[in-house]
Amino acid sequence: MSGLERLYRVFKWVEDIDTPEGRKRLQESIGNIGKAIDHPSIKDLLARKDKITIIDVCSGKGIGFIALAKAILQKHDVKIEIIAVDLRQSALEKAEEYAEKELGIKIKTFVYDATRLWELGVSADIGLLYGFSTPHFNPYDMVKLAASMASILGPEGAFLVEEADRVYSICQRTGYKDVIPDYVDEDRVILSIEAGREPLKGVNRRLIIDLITGNRVMSEFRLWDIAGTASILWCFFRHVDFIKYRHPYSGLLVAWKPRGIEPMQYAEYPEIISGRNR
């Protein structure tokens, strides 16, 4: 079982759209992602196409790509193809099921590292990273992801990234906490416990533990902010914009028109974390 499979078995995350919570999140996501459909970069792209291919990375069980597809179909008469990429086989199996149920289509799925998308030999018009998934990527992996995504999108392609200013909301507003009760009820008590900082990778390590079952997993995460992610996207896309949600600290980054940089340049990690030449 992969580390990500273990993490999501311990950590409670709403992604099953058969549940009331999941259905509510899907409806909210259609509204959130729907704001991007009227952005000039996406609007112009959709106006020129009769078929759109969406690639959703860290797709989970598919709430992101389902919401994006539904938002597009509300305003445009286009055929939609979906490619879903995740490290969790179990999540992708559910994504296939939900795609047929909600969209009436079969999708392509890959259990694969999103930072090496070019190896799949696929192409797409719109890339999607949804669900505030950027903390899974350290800064070097974010560079690799942006380079990889840009390489498989067409010259007018766009990459949508849901992002939040965690530096403000966590570090400045509420304060970083060593122990956080992530979920508490009679059947589950899940804590997140600080386990140290890795300064060269720019990540924190936290132990996620279910006190009832004893299940636990050590996880790394990065506290991204909007400007930090946007600046990396800007290195690989000519244009970057932001569509805010109800407040200015979370929303969708829109990056479009890839610069054509070869992703293989970033296939290997730099010496600062790879340990080469030591």
**CATH code of the domain in which 46 resides:** 3.40.50.150
Domain shared by 52 and 116, yes or no: yes
Whether 145 is covered by a domain: the verdict is: yes
CA 45 and chain centroid, separation: 21
Domain shared by 51 and 141, yes or no: yes
Whether 271 is covered by a domain: the verdict is: no
Whether 136 is covered by a domain: the verdict is: yes
Domain shared by 201 and 159, yes or no: no
Domain shared by 172 and 252, yes or no: no
**CB < 8 Å & 24+ apart, contacts of 190-195:** 190/10, 190/11, 190/12
Mean pLDDT of the chain: 93
Domain shared by 68 and 127, yes or no: yes
Domain shared by 156 and 177, yes or no: no
Domain shared by 42 and 122, yes or no: yes
pLDDT of residue 277: 63
Domain shared by 60 and 99, yes or no: yes
Q: End-to-end CA distance of the chain, in Å?
A: 32
Count of structural domains within the chain: 2
pLDDT of residue 207: 94
Domain shared by 184 and 128, yes or no: no
Whether 263 is covered by a domain: the verdict is: no
pLDDT of residue 7: 74
Domain shared by 33 and 84, yes or no: yes
Tens of each residue's pLDDT in the chain, 278 residues: 566 777 777 777 788 899 999 999 999 999 999 999 999 999 999 999 999 999 999 999 999 999 999 999 999 999 999 999 999 999 999 999 999 999 999 999 999 999 999 999 999 999 999 998 999 999 999 999 999 999 999 899 999 999 999 989 888 888 888 998 888 888 889 999 999 999 999 999 999 999 988 889 999 999 999 999 999 999 999 999 999 998 889 999 999 999 999 999 999 999 998 876 65
Domain shared by 139 and 192, yes or no: no
pLDDT of residue 278: 55
Domain that holds residue 140: 3-164+224-258
Cβ contact 156:47 at 8 Å: no
Whether 277 is covered by a domain: the verdict is: no
CA nearest neighbour of 64 among 99, 93, 115, 39: 99
Burial class (CB in 10 A: 0-12, 13-18, 19+), 73: middle
Domain shared by 78 and 144, yes or no: yes
